[in-house]
Structure 1
Amino acid sequence: MSAQRPAGRSGGAVLDGFRAAPGVHCETTMLGNMLRHAGVDVPEALVFGLGQGIDAQFFPPPPHAPVPPMLTGRVGPGLIAEHACAALGIGLVTLREADDAGAHAQAVAALSAGRVVGVTVDIFHLDYFASRTHFSAHCLALQGLDDSTAYVVDTTQQGGAQQLPLASFVRARASDEGFMPSPRLHWHLDDGPVAPAGSTVDLAPRIWPAVQGAAARFLDRGRGAERGIAALRRAAEELPGWRRLPRGEAVIPEIARFWRFAGTGGTNFRGLYAEFLAEAHALTGDAELLPSLTAFAEIVAAWADLIDHLGGYAGAPDRSAHLKEAAARLHAVADAEEAAFTRLLDLSRDRTGTV
């Protein structure tokens, strides 16, 4: 564990020996940096897969509010970190304070103990972020605070290691605006023994329970119409009606861009899960995983095709027909994902000997 040194005023701390490791997704980047600094270097795709991060969630637009529908491709914030740490046998501490002073003290205490701190923030208040939209489910790895600056790690897309004015960081951490706000939420690894660095021996037995958990959750229709496979079906059913969205010519292509690029969007996580399955195959040597690798490569391609189509909405000669075709393509994606996760669930049950 790296030591820390005071920085700025006595109320700050910056980790010594910290090396930033940006990633594709914000929460896996956050947790990856927490683990790596503690001596556990696990590839991001394995963090995502062991964290059972793959899912779908659909949030329909509120009545009489100019908010577009949102379809995401992952579990809720914090669950990846929770599941991955449980799979690795590492304790995860979750803390939330009611005021900024308490949150600052929590963060400094963890940094002073040599721990990277995970935080949720609103991207609207991040100076380096191009978006001017409130989105409060974004995660950062915090590796230092002084009297003027927060030293954080974001995704590669957002520039990796960043120095953020302390006032901006405080506003971002305290925000209760935007999607899934969680003001002043922190995570850090506990002070108990940390599992040894991941290896084939360490990680292979953890693969199948993680696959089983993710597949069973995705296929569970008892979670309601806005989660898992049911979320994809509902979004596909409602998609033709999106032509009635306010500013649809601009909003619908924005939805397509969100699916392609945003950290919570759908297609990113299908690609990351495909990478996890490739890592799982390398670790386990199980040839029965190969059809799933092929299936997820095809799913990623189908999402890209759907996004390309939806992004062309504004220029479509018949917009109603254009959205009906987009809905048909989303139904086809749902068919492919249901089949892929059904196969993974059956295979993982066989490998774990559990139902």
Structure 2
Amino acid sequence: MRLATFQPQLGVHCETTTLRNMIHHAGVDVSEAMLFGLGQGIDFQYWDAPDPGRSTPMLTGRIEPALLSRNACSALGVELRESRAPDAESAHAAAAELLEAGHVVGVSVDIFHLDYFKSRSHFASHYIALYGLDDTHAHVVDTEQQGGAQRLPAESLRRARASDEGFMPSPHLYLYVGRLPARLTTHTDEVLREQIWNAIRLTARRMTEDRGPRFGLRAMRRAASEIAGWSDTLASPDEVVPAVGRFWRFAGTGGANFRKLYREFLTEARQRSGDSELDAAIEGLGDVQRQWDQAVDMLMDYPGADGRSRLQAVAALLDAIADAEQALFDGLLVAAAERAGESV
């Protein structure tokens, strides 16, 4: 079974690419950046290293998997259905049934088992959009970096969906879009404009709260303090530190990628609303993105002439980024509260 009218929609982040393909096929074209913003996707999260000394914490620049899709669909009034099959055969059968009913199916996978993926690491929080499946092959859409629309062996997809290895595995998890509200299809621009500032308010409130040492700007500052000492605390820093930089840049988890996507959301929000209050945040996020890119460059170039000093410089950059993001989201929270007639 393969969806005859399906048109692949490219994107830069796996979950928003998958969500965009599901919603677009259902009948509404919403940009990836808008979905990311309405999904309140930006964050910073710190997940403890599975093997301290030999590996680093998982540091991500976004909220938890699937939560972004739930938030975006809630904002748009879109029915999002999630389920988890008990085994590989049931997962295959459920996907085939949904395709037969005309749905694009979002599936959670471990990139290690995708034959078109170059990475040889387990990462199980990846999403792809499934639009064709039979006993031998599957047709999916991945990110632009991974080539967009791909054809892979059905057995490769089965293994990727069944994996319980890597970061935050969700074996046999799948989601699809059910009902679209009529107004979203007929008055898309109006619906988007109505939801923009509420999504900004919720995001800014979360980003400015103290949510403990694992989430938000406090987690970023914690990461900075630990990165400064990686040359001494890691068993093989010459291997591990550049790998972190490559992962942040090319696997999509790093702050620069998600700050860029959120900046694109604010830029589109500015165009749709005509609200000049967003200009300062757009400019500020551009500066933040450049600082993130600089930090990643320094990690990828490690050890260089003086590895310890390089890591201390990365730590200083992360502290500066945390300060900049605090000011940026403080400003957005005030602006959003004013538009809602609330106090901060």
TM-score by length of 2: 0.95
Inter-partner Cα distance in structure 1 for 2:277 and 2:10? 32
Which residue of the partner structure matches residue 255 of structure 1?
244
Say which SS state the counterpart of residue 73 (structure 1) adopts. strand
Runs (5+) with no aligned partner, structure 2? none
Out of 53, 78, 94, which is 1:106 matched to?
94
Which residue of the partner structure matches residue 109 of structure 2?
121
Asked if 1:303 is matched to 2:271, the reply is no
How big is the shift at 1:22?
Answer: 1.6
Letter in 1 for 2:29: D
Instruction: Output one character per residue of 1:30-79: Cα deviation in whole Å (capped at 9) or x when no partner.
Output: 00000100111001100110111000101232455632222110001101
TM-score by length of 1: 0.93
Inter-partner Cα distance in structure 1 for 2:187 and 2:84? 30
Contact 2:53 2:235 (8 Å CA) reproduced:
no
Asked if 1:283 is matched to 2:235, the reply is no
How big is the shift at 1:163?
Answer: 0.6
Letter in 2 for 1:161: A
How big is the shift at 1:238?
Answer: 1.0
Asked if 1:332 is matched to 2:320, the reply is yes
Q: Name which of structure 1's ranges 191-200 and 29-38 shifts more when overlaid on structure 2.
A: 191-200
Contact 1:211 1:344 (8 Å CA) reproduced:
yes
Instruction: Output one character per residue of 1:260-311: Cα deviation in whole Å (capped at 9) or x when no partner.
Output: 2222221100000010000000111111111111101111111112222222
Which residue of the partner structure matches residue 207 of structure 2?
218
Asked if 1:74 is matched to 2:66, the reply is no
Say which SS state the counterpart of residue 80 (structure 1) adopts. helix
Contact 2:9 2:21 (8 Å CA) reproduced:
yes
Out of 212, 220, 225, which is 1:232 matched to?
220
Which residue of the partner structure matches residue 42 of structure 1?
30
Asked if 1:269 is matched to 2:258, the reply is yes
Inter-partner Cα distance in structure 1 for 2:93 and 2:187? 32
Asked if 1:312 is matched to 2:301, the reply is yes
Q: Name which of structure 1's ranges 139-148 and 319-328 shifts more when overlaid on structure 2.
A: 319-328
Inter-partner Cα distance in structure 2 for 1:253 and 1:181? 25
Asked if 1:141 is matched to 2:135, the reply is no
Asked if 1:348 is matched to 2:336, the reply is yes
Letter in 1 for 2:269: A
Change (3 A) 1:131 1:276: same
Inter-partner Cα distance in structure 2 for 1:252 and 1:333? 20
Say which SS state the counterpart of residue 14 (structure 1) adopts. coil
Letter in 1 for 2:80: L
Say which SS state the counterpart of residue 228 (structure 2) adopts. helix
> Which residues in structure 2 correspond to 1:2-81 (within 5 Å)?
13-62=1-50, 64=52, 66-81=54-69
Inter-partner Cα distance in structure 1 for 2:173 and 2:214? 25
Change (3 A) 1:163 1:258: same
Say which SS state the counterpart of residue 313 (structure 1) adopts. coil
Instruction: Output one character per residue of 1:151-197: Cα deviation in whole Å (capped at 9) or x when no partner.
Output: 10000000000011000100000000001100000000124656316
Contact 2:78 2:179 (8 Å CA) reproduced:
no
Contact 2:225 2:315 (8 Å CA) reproduced:
yes
Runs (5+) with no aligned partner, structure 1? 1-12
Inter-partner Cα distance in structure 2 for 1:80 and 1:198? 23
Contact 2:77 2:181 (8 Å CA) reproduced:
no
How big is the shift at 1:240?
Answer: 1.4
Inter-partner Cα distance in structure 2 for 1:254 and 1:292? 31
Which residue of the partner structure matches residue 196 of structure 1?
185
Inter-partner Cα distance in structure 1 for 2:195 and 2:178? 21
Query: Between the two proteins, what is the percent identity of the paired residues?
Result: 51
Which residue of the partner structure matches residue 184 of structure 1?
172
Out of 84, 89, 94, which is 2:77 matched to?
89
Contact 1:253 1:313 (8 Å CA) reproduced:
yes
Contact 2:55 2:240 (8 Å CA) reproduced:
no
How big is the shift at 1:145?
Answer: 0.7
How big is the shift at 1:128?
Answer: 0.3
Change (3 A) 1:313 1:213: same
Contact 1:40 1:197 (8 Å CA) reproduced:
no
Contact 1:41 1:198 (8 Å CA) reproduced:
no
Say which SS state the counterpart of residue 222 (structure 2) adopts. helix
Inter-partner Cα distance in structure 2 for 1:313 and 1:334? 22
User: Over aligned residues, Cα RMSD in angstroms?
Assistant: 1.5
Inter-partner Cα distance in structure 2 for 1:125 and 1:197? 41
